[in-house]
Chains A and B, each alone.
Chain A
Amino acid sequence: AQKITQTQPGMFVQEKEAVTLDCTYDTSDQSYGLFWYKQPSSGEMIFLIYQGSYDEQNATEGRYSLNFQKARKSANLVISASQLGDSAMYFCAMRDTGGFKTIFGAGTRLFVKA
């Protein structure tokens, strides 16, 4: 069975610093996608970044990058130059290639301090 583990319930980071949110996953499938979503206090789910299991390069989207280590089954999200607006819940998620069901981790709540 697939599983996503986010071991950091909450994280603090100083404004303008970088922060890494941890995510490990477990799957027996060879082909899958990994996703990160941001959920502000307003409740909406915002797609941040995607990494395919066969992608050789780590994904980057602006200030977001995904540190993908396939052998360790980890897909950590790195946010550079944190901003106050980055304060939110962050979910790591996974879906099999060709599949429809996405499973989510428990989330990490990030607090950015001024």
Chain B
Amino acid sequence: AAGVIQSPRHLIKEKRETATLKCYPIPRHDTVYWYQQGPGQDPQFLISFYEKMQSDKGSIPDRFSAQQFSDYHSELNMSSLELGDSALYFCASSQGAIEGDTYEQYFGPGTRLTVT
């Protein structure tokens, strides 16, 4: 079965540089979520998109932005990178959260970002 695809899998950037992470959801999934997991931490919700519109926002820094495109893939743009941005960034996808039901999220393999 097709899974969530994330690219790149590993990324090394220097402080103050920018980074773009890409996510390709499972076919027919219309909702994409982004999470940040620091070393030894639980995943923290950053932002989500449903049908190409932002559906919820968590603890995403102002330096980060994201969008979902017409083909449902999503990109997380990170500017002015800081050392503390070093983390594993997960994208997850699901069918849309419909009132009265809750779909499970399927996670991609993650992008490991290292800021030096």
Contacts and interface: CB of A to CB of B under 8 A. Distances in A.
A85 interface: no
A100 B88 contact: no
Interface of A: 31-33, 35, 37, 43-47, 50, 52, 91, 95-107
Contacts of A46: 107
Contacts of A45: 43, 90, 92, 107, 110
Nearest to A89: B42
B8 interface: no
A32 B112 contact: no
A97, A102, A103 interface centre (most CB from chain B within 10 Å): A102
Given A45-B110, A105-B42, 6 more contacts: A33-B102, A50-B102, A50-B104, A98-B97, A98-B99, A100-B56
Nearest to B42: A104
Interface string B83-114: 00000101010000111111011111110100
A25 to B, nearest CB: 14
A97 B88 contact: no
A99 B43 contact: no
Interface in B15-52: 31, 33, 42-45, 48, 50
B64 to A, nearest CB: 16
Nearest to A102: B45
Contact of A37 (B97, B99, B101, B107): B107
B55 interface: yes
B97 A97 contact: yes
Given A103-B45, A107-B42, A52 B56 contact: no
Given A44-B109, A45-B90, A104-B43, A97 B100 contact: yes
